[in-house]
Structure 1
Amino acid sequence: MELPRQFGVELIGPVLPDTSWQTQAGKGFESFRFQIDWQAKQVRCPMGRTSNYWSEGIDRVGEPLIRARFSRKDCEVCPGFQDCTTSAKYGRCVSFRPQEQHEALQRARAYQATQEFKERYQCRAGIEGSISEAVRVFGMRRSRYIGVAKTHLQHMAIAAAINLHRWFAWVEERPMAATRVSRFQALAPLGS
């Protein structure tokens, strides 16, 4: 089941990068370098070793998670052992989501590194600014009416009000709002 096909919607947004210490330190092997054999329930490391443990469970927030662990004996003889794991008792442990989620995450990470993604994501910034304005200035999160039709009418009125608000600002040549300045920064002299 792929959400875009099921609902006819495409979600565009950044996904979190790999936050493992190996990725942050630039040493060892990031989790995406490991090859997963879903049918055999084994993982092969970049040095050719095969995992000896596979566990399917849930993470701290109740989402499905798979953990694969490598034998300490296999990891000890590996030339990259010190950069790959810090465990004194076990070999390297790799965690990942079930196959469909894992593959979708890898595709999304690869796509967000492209120029096409960056251009498409720029449009979202303008949309998020409009939504933020609708919420802050016009109270769009709260429906004043009961029923879908009346709520839709309220949203249409707010959209029209945003357009009028922006038009008046343009006519009066009011500059766009600057980025928020912290109280500490406001204390600094203007010349600095």
Structure 2
Amino acid sequence: MTESIHHMLAARDLLPAEHYLDSGYPSAELIVGMKEGFGVTLVTPVLLDSSPQARSGAGFGRTAFAIDWDNRQATCPRGHTSTWWSPAVQRGTKAIVVKFDKETCQPCPVRDKCTRAKNGGRTLSLRAREQQQVLDEARTQQTSQEWRAKYATRAGVEGTIHQAMAVTGMRRARYRGLKKTHLEHAFSAVALNLIRLDAWWNGRPLDRTRTSHLARLDQQDFNLTA
């Protein structure tokens, strides 16, 4: 879907420098592909490191290892180098498997912070170089307040989508055929623009103040008591 949108925007010479996506779309392949193919930077949260060390917040996660891509070797926090580097396919995705020798890992004094393997050494799973570097950079950036403030821009988009669903019923098309559906969406967009212009001109906030069910019950009890 993202690539199709970029193709349409490119045909109209309207490609943005940045494209804000929600967390359901991003992947390392997509981020790299859109940058290389269209020059568009995807601003989107990516999945965090799922290794046991990263999830627990203790021990040595993948980022604790120095990766020498040119020499196809990894160095652990204790200064030991890997002995195995091989391409692989994991869950249908191309990857690189890096292994450390068990003779090196077994006597290591910080072994319990590095691997759960009982007999073998530490194993790392990497993506292709460009994808892994982009993924690491994105994970680092999205933890900063600056990035979070920047990504908050998307909150307005989510509000627009919600309003479009609630007001115009865009979730289900009223007509069959792409041309008719496209025209329906265009009319819906015009309607939303008019609604927002009217709210702006008359100083009315677009968001409504909501009262929870519990608050309503409390208010009713108060009125009955009074």
TM range (shorter): 0.7 to 0.9
Q: 1:12 aligns with which of 30, 35, 43?
A: 43
Matches within 5 A, 1:89-128: 89-128=119-158
Write the distance in 1 (CA, Å) between the matches of 2:78 and 2:159: 47
* Cα distance, 1:63–1:135 mapped onto 2, change above 3 Å: farther
TM-score relative to the length of structure 1: 0.79
**Are residues 1:71 and 2:89 paired?**
no
Q: By how many angstroms is 1:106 displaced?
A: 1.1
CA deviation profile, 1:37-59 (whole Å, cap 9, x unmatched)? 22332211111111112231222
> Match for residue 63 of structure 2?
32
CA deviation profile, 1:75-107 (whole Å, cap 9, x unmatched)? 122221011111112111111211110011011
Measured on the aligned residues, the alpha-carbon RMSD in Å equals 3.1
Q: 1:88 aligns with which of 87, 105, 118?
A: 118
* Cα distance, 1:48–1:5 mapped onto 2, change above 3 Å: same
Matches within 5 A, 1:148-159: 150-159=180-189
The residue type paired with residue 89 of structure 1 is: N
Quick check: 2:46–2:138 contact (8 Å CA) kept in 1?
yes
**Are residues 1:46 and 2:77 paired?**
yes
Write the distance in 2 (CA, Å) between the matches of 1:99 and 1:14: 20
Write the distance in 1 (CA, Å) between the matches of 2:67 and 2:166: 46
> Match for residue 133 of structure 1?
163
The residue type paired with residue 153 of structure 1 is: L
TM-score relative to the length of structure 2: 0.68
11-20 vs 90-99, which moves further: 11-20
Query: SS in structure 1 opposite 2:43?
Result: coil
**Equivalent residue pairs, number:** 185
Query: SS in structure 2 opposite 1:66?
Result: strand
